[in-house]
Amino acid sequence: MVEPVQTLSSGRLEAAISPLGAELRSLRVDGREVIWRADPAWWGSSAPILFPIVGGLNGDAYRVAGQSFSLPRHGFARRRRFDLVEAAVDRAVFRLEADSQTLAVYPFDFRLDIVFRIAEDALRLCAILENRGPGPMPAGFGFHPAFNWPLDPDGDRAAYGLTFDEDEPAPMRRLTGGGLVQSDPVPSPIHGRNLTLNDALFAHDALIFDQPRSRGSSTARRAA
């Protein structure tokens, strides 16, 4: 069954969001798709929401007040259906709240709103997490969008890279075979502000920059 989506549009942009995981399934710029097609042969997601953890736990388990709980890698939000609580031509709000299923694996009363808005030829996402319980609520959150590479289907993959706001000389970290963060850092593949994309970068899963100077980056394409 094809999952229904909520469509937003304004100016040059059109976005489609699925209530399953509040996941961005499509983003078209001047009619050109820029979001990964979620091919299950490679990776069946396009832009999952990571909550209440980012990454994995040792043995997928943790303890709260002496009681053991289990969470899969990246948590449960990406597999849960969010409620559409606001909808307009250029704005939508999706909500996930604690229930018996979440409390069984994450014993905290929460409300998570994901706000999608198109403004000034940009898609803006905002996460609002509310702790509705009486005590502290440990939580991790992450956006995980995947973009087509190259953006132009007929383009040269080797011509693409990322340009960061600042020079990034600090070392980075990689993952162990079990999906945990390695304790020892490794040299950064970023040269100055520039990271050239190639398949070898991702042969051992994600690149983790835990000491970034930059607040953002942009796609760069080398001139032919």
Domain map (residue ranges) of the chain: 1-148, 156-224
List C-alpha distances in Å: 41 to 48, 145, 165: 17, 18, 34
In the predicted model, is pLDDT for residue 2 greater than 60? no
193-202 mean pLDDT: 92
* Mean pLDDT, rounded, of the chain: 93
Range 1-148 classified under CATH 2.70.98.10:
yes
In the predicted model, is pLDDT for residue 75 greater than 80? yes
What single string gives the DSSP state of each residue in 105-139?
A: HS---EEEEEEEEEETTEEEEEEEEEE-SSS----
Q: What φ, ψ does residue 132 adopt, rounded to 5°?
A: -105, 10
Q: How far apart are CA 22 and CA 80, in angstroms?
A: 8
17-44 mean pLDDT: 95
pLDDT at position 142: 96
**Banded model confidence at residue 61, pLDDT cuts 50, 70, 90:** very high
Q: How far apart are CA 55 and CA 166, in angstroms?
A: 26
Record the pTM. 0.91
- Percent over 70 (pLDDT), the chain: 96
